[in-house]
Amino acid sequence: SKEEIYVSLNNITEEIYKNLDLKEYFVLNFLNSYGNDSLVYHLLNTAIIVSIIAKKIEMPYVMYKQTVKFALIHDIGYAMLGERTINDFENEDKNALIHNIVAYKKLQSLKSMLTHEILESILYHHERYDGKGKFHLKGEKISPLVRITQVADAYTSLIELGYTPYQTLSWILKKCGFIFDPYYVGLLYEIAGYYPTGTKVRLNNGEIGVVLKRGEIEFFPEIIVDNTPLKIGPDSNIYIKEVIE
């Protein structure tokens, strides 16, 4: 029923809010390793990343609830169509082009449960920051619900497709100012770091390691080599030589 949908969205939003005192790197590690291609997990993962960003900027709770609720249902149109396009930001696939419109129309019956801004955001969630989207909304004319969710949506989608965290962040950075709001890209970058959690790297001593989390210094993250933490940086004279794609 409509009431059950409303209660479920509220409950999930509350749980994400209460439980995201988890360290950011733990959540990112979990996301990188999960590998489930279902729409449900995509929506949950996107909402979790959105919540991390929202908490970082100390978003007011009322707006936080709106934003996470939207993230939880932004791609619900794919469930209505029965088939999903995973990375749909520059995809001309029919379902990618219509899933937002289908969802917007079908969710009109939930107007009393969902806010006007959430419904509008579902319709416009593939607008581009540069104004070259389907409806030609540009910059801050696009709802902040959409702009914050877009970077999280892209991150989770590309990880799901098998991109490395480094490749994922690089792709998003290339689209910064074109598809994505630079402000929210910057926040994602701050959370993930120059070497995002899960990035595979080769060190100057020849060893292969994986980034666990950001270090105190941007270019010297915490590394694990053969399940053992390794300190890198000037004190140890061990550095990252290159990223292994």
Say if residue 26's pLDDT is above 50. no
Regarding whether 179 and 95 lie in a shared domain, the answer is yes
In sequence order, what DSSP letters do the residues of 213-224 get, joined into one string?
E--SSTT--EEE
Torsions phi, psi of 130, nearest 5? Answer: -85, 0
Q: Which 3 state secondary structure label does DSSP give 82?
A: coil
pLDDT of residue 16: 65
Regarding whether 111 and 42 lie in a shared domain, the answer is yes
Regarding whether 50 and 124 lie in a shared domain, the answer is yes
What is the count of structural domains for the chain? 2
When pLDDT is averaged across residues 26-55 and rounded to a whole number, the result is: 71
pLDDT of residue 82: 84
Regarding whether 130 and 227 lie in a shared domain, the answer is no
Contact of 200 with 231, CB cutoff 8 Å: no
Regarding whether 116 and 215 lie in a shared domain, the answer is no
Q: Residue 240 is inside which H or E element, if any?
A: strand 240-243
Q: Which 3 state secondary structure label does DSSP give 168?
A: helix
Q: What is the CATH number of the domain that holds 167?
A: 1.10.3210.10
Regarding whether 144 and 216 lie in a shared domain, the answer is no
Range of the domain at 177: 2-192
Q: Which residue did the predictor score with more confidence, 64 or 214? A: 64
Regarding whether 146 and 216 lie in a shared domain, the answer is no
Distance separating alpha carbons of residues 50 and 44, to the nearest angstrom = 10
Q: Comparing C-alpha atoms, which of 64, 49, 53 is closest to residue 10?
A: 64
Torsions phi, psi of 212, nearest 5? Answer: -90, -50
Model pTM?
0.79
Regarding whether 223 and 141 lie in a shared domain, the answer is no
Say if residue 116's pLDDT is above 90. yes
Tens of pLDDT, residues 199-225: 999 999 999 999 998 887 778 889 999
Distance separating alpha carbons of residues 151 and 203, to the nearest angstrom = 30
Regarding whether 216 and 98 lie in a shared domain, the answer is no
Regarding whether 42 and 144 lie in a shared domain, the answer is yes
